[in-house]
Structure 1
Amino acid sequence: MSNDLILQISNRIKEKRKGKKITLQQLAEEVGVTKGLISQIENNRTVPSLTVLLSIIKSLHVDLNDFFDKLDTTEPNEPLIIKASAQQSIEKEYTKGSFYYRITSFKLHGKLVDVVLYRQEKDARKGYVSTQAHEFDYMIKGKMQYTIDGKKYILETGDSFYYNARKQHHTKCLSNEPYEMLVIYFFDEE
C-alpha cells in the first residue's frame, strides 16, 4: 500500500464498498452525494470533507477504528520500487474504451502527485473532462488529439504535453491501435 495517507483512505473506501457489494450509486444515495463524487473520492481525484468521509464510513457499516486501522503513516527512506503487478486499475465515470492504471501516488512538498498509465482505444466514447491538477503527458505509443478551448493538439509517440487540466479537455485516439501515455498529475490542493 502507498505511503500516501489520502490514497490509502481512497483505496480503503473502494475496497470496503466492493467487499460489501455496494454500487457507487447505492453508496452515493446513502451518503447524500453524487455518484461522481464517490467515484472521484475512490479514485483519489478529490479529498472528501470530514463530514462526507465519516458519512461514507457510516454508510459502509464499518467501525471507525477498523477503517483507520493499519494505515501506513511512515515516510519511506528507501527508493520506491513499483512492480507492474502492483499497478491498480482506476475506474472512471463516463468513459468507454479508456483505461487508467495507477502506478503510484505520493506527496511532494505537501502536494499530491499521481502517476498513471493511460490507454485509449480508437472508438472510445469520452466526453469533455477536467481535473483539479496540472498534467504532464508523455506519449508511449500511438497518436492522439487533445481539444482544449477549441484548439486541437496532436501528439505522437515520444511527444510530451503539459497543460492546466482544470480546463475542459477532450482526447481522441487517432491511431488504429490504442494509444498509451504516461500521465503525471500535479494537484495544487494541500
Structure 2
Amino acid sequence: MQDEILIQISNKIKDVRKEKNITIQDLANKAQVSKGLISQIENNRTIPSLPVLMKIIDALNLDLTDFFKDMSSRKKAANRIEFKKPKEYKPFEKEYAKGFLYRRMFTRTIHGRLVDFVLLELKNGARRTRNVKTESFEYNYMIKGKLEYEIEDQKYIFQEGESLFFDSRMPHKLSNIGGVDATMLVVYFFLPENA
C-alpha cells in the first residue's frame, strides 16, 4: 500500500469522525483501542494494523467500499508538473495546539518514501505545552516571524530566513516568541517501518 494512501486513510478517519460528531474517546471505546492510538493515527504519527483499521471503520459505521471509494494511489510520471494556488492548500489538524494552523501543500511518494510539504502558521503567542514526536525527519524554513524550538531540552531561536533539519522522533515543541504571527515551511520525510 502506498504511503500516500496511508495519509488518506488517517485523514478519512478524522474527517468522518468529526463529520459524525464522534469524539476521539468515543471512537476509541467503540473500536476497543486507546484514545492515544486514535490520536496518533489521525495525526499521521502511526499506521494502524489491519485488524485495528477494520475495528475503526466498523466503529464509524461505514462499510469498506464507502471508506475506500475516494482513495487512490497517485502514481504519476516523474516529469508530471502539478501547480497549486494557496486556496488549494488543505487545512488539517496535526495535533491540537491552540494557534497552530497547518495547511498541506503537497504529499508525494518519492523513491518509495513519503514526503509531506506543509505550511504552518503560528498565531502570535501560540505555544505547544508538551513535546511531540513524528516518525520522520523534518526540514523547517522560517518564512516570517520568530520561534523558539525546543528539541530534547536544547533551545533554538529560529528566525526569518533560517533553516532547521532534525530527526523529529526526538521530543520537540515550539513557541511563537516574535510578537507577530509566524509562518514556516515544514517538509516531513517519513521513515519506513522499522527504521
Greater alpha carbon shift after TM alignment, 95-104 vs 48-57: 95-104
Aligned-partner Cα distance in 1 for 2:117–2:163: 15
Are 1:93 and 2:90 counterparts?
no
RMSD: 1.9
CA deviation digits over 1:81-122, x for unaligned, max 9? Answer: 233222222224341222211112121222211111112233
Corresponding residue of 2:189: 186
Please give the per-residue CA displacement for 1:59-80, whole angstroms capped at 9, x wherever unaligned: 1111112212242234123212
Counterpart residue number, 2:62: 62
Determine if the alignment matches structure 1 residue 173 to structure 2 residue 176: yes
Equivalent pair of 2:127/2:176 in contact (CA under 8 Å) = no
Alpha carbons 2:127, 2:174 under 8 Å: kept: no
**Higher share of residues assigned strand:** 1
Between the aligned partners of 2:120 and 2:156, the Cα distance in structure 1 is 17
What is aligned with 2:49? 49
Distance 1:43 1:105 in 2: 14
Percent of paired sites with the same residue = 44
In 2, the alpha carbon distance for the partners of 1:158 and 1:180 equals 11
Alignment TM-score, normalising by the size of structure 1 = 0.89
Judged with a 3 Å threshold, the aligned counterparts in structure 2 of structure 1 residues 165 and 74 are, in CA distance, closer, same or farther, namely closer
Which stretch has the larger CA shift, 179-188 or 72-81? 72-81
**1:133-170: CA deviation from partner (whole Å, max 9, x where unpaired):** 11000000001111223222111111111011111112
Residue 39 of structure 2: aligned partner = 39
Equivalent residues of 2:176, 2:182 under 8 A apart: yes
Q: Secondary structure of 1:12's partner?
A: helix
Supply the distance in 1 between the matched residues of 2:112 and 2:151 (Cα, whole angstroms): 29
AA at the equivalent of 1:47: I
Task: Write the distance in 2 (CA, Å) between the matches of 1:159 and 1:125.
Answer: 19
Which TM-score applies when normalising by structure 2?
0.87
- Listed one character per residue, the Cα deviations across residues 15-68 of structure 1 (whole Å, up to 9, x for unaligned) are 322232222221112112233322332232321111111111111111112212
Cα 1:36–1:83, aligned 2, differ >3 Å: closer, same or farther? farther
Aligned residue number for residue 152 of structure 1? 155
5+ residue gaps, structure 2: none
